Amino acid sequence: MASELHNSYNIDRNEIVRIPIDVRNKIEGSLTLPTEPKGIVIFAHGSGSGRHSPRNKYVAQVLNESGIATLLIDLLTPEEEKIDNITREHRFDIDLLSRRLIGATDWISQRTELSKLKVGYFGASTGAAAALVAAVERADLVYAVVSRGGRPDLATSDILVRVEVPTLLIVGGNDKQVIDLNEKALKQLTKIEKKKKLITIPKATHLFEEPGALEEAAKHASGWFQCFFLEEKR
């Protein structure tokens, strides 16, 4: 597991938020706002994970250190999580996960203090596919996507060929099957030939548990977001 950060950055706000997804249900998120944030990254967890994932919390802290706000959300309601823990049916429902991510994006755009922030997506596992679907649907709001150990291929070819948002795919060097799936997905990102990249972290496996692996992935993610948050939409 990654080493602890020292929280040397200035935090303006750190709060739990509840985002409406329909007339009866809300999903919860952890919002962290550094002073004068450069942008905000929404985390799309996948495959049975949630906003309390220690790996994604670590990446979020690295982004906060670089002055980027973060929103870690549970894409499923508590009731859906209970069902998913038994059937695993929701974690692969890319349509459902992407709609929740789009809802969180719209929620940000409607809040006065957040609406001017450039948005990025950080997707892990099946959340990477949801991030790419949402990036197509909200291309006017999203500036960059990063996938860590993700399954971008699950977004399907119809979506991948429409992605116009700069996309970074990070995979463990020893995660051979996922490398292959990411390479195939990368080839289909034809609209962003100069703004797409696949990085493999040497000796890392799927969960990036090896010493230094998650730190390296987080640094690449931070650099990607900082770079494209500086650009303007055409």
Q: What is the DSSP string of 153-221?
A: GGG-HHHHTT--S-EEEEEETT-HHHHHHHHHHHHT-GGGTTSEEEEEETT--TT--STTHHHHHHHHH
The pLDDT value given to residue 6? 46
212: which 2 tokens? 């230094």
Q: Residue range 16-35: average pLDDT?
A: 90
Distances (CA, A) of 85 to 28, 51, 130: 18, 16, 19
Q: Name the pLDDT band for 79 (thresholds 50, 70, 90).
A: confident
Percent of the chain with pLDDT over 90: 74
CA distance 159 to 95: 12
Q: Render pLDDT for 59-78 as a digit per residue (tens, 0 to 9).
A: 999 999 999 999 999 888 77
- Would the pLDDT of 104 be above 90? yes
Q: Please give the structure tokens belonging to residue 140.
A: 């006017």
Burial group, residue 176, by CB count within 10 angstroms (0-12, 13-18, 19+): exposed
Q: Residue ranges of the domains in the chain?
A: 11-229
Q: 187 or 2: whose pLDDT is higher?
A: 187
| Cα three-residue angle 195-34-73, rounded to 5 degrees | 70
What's the rounded mean pLDDT across residues 105-118?
A: 95
Mean pLDDT of 154-180: 97
H or E element, residue 67: none
pLDDT at 49: 63
How much is the pTM? Answer: 0.92
The CATH H-level (homologous superfamily) assignment of domain 11-229 is Alpha/Beta hydrolase fold, catalytic domain (3.40.50.1820)
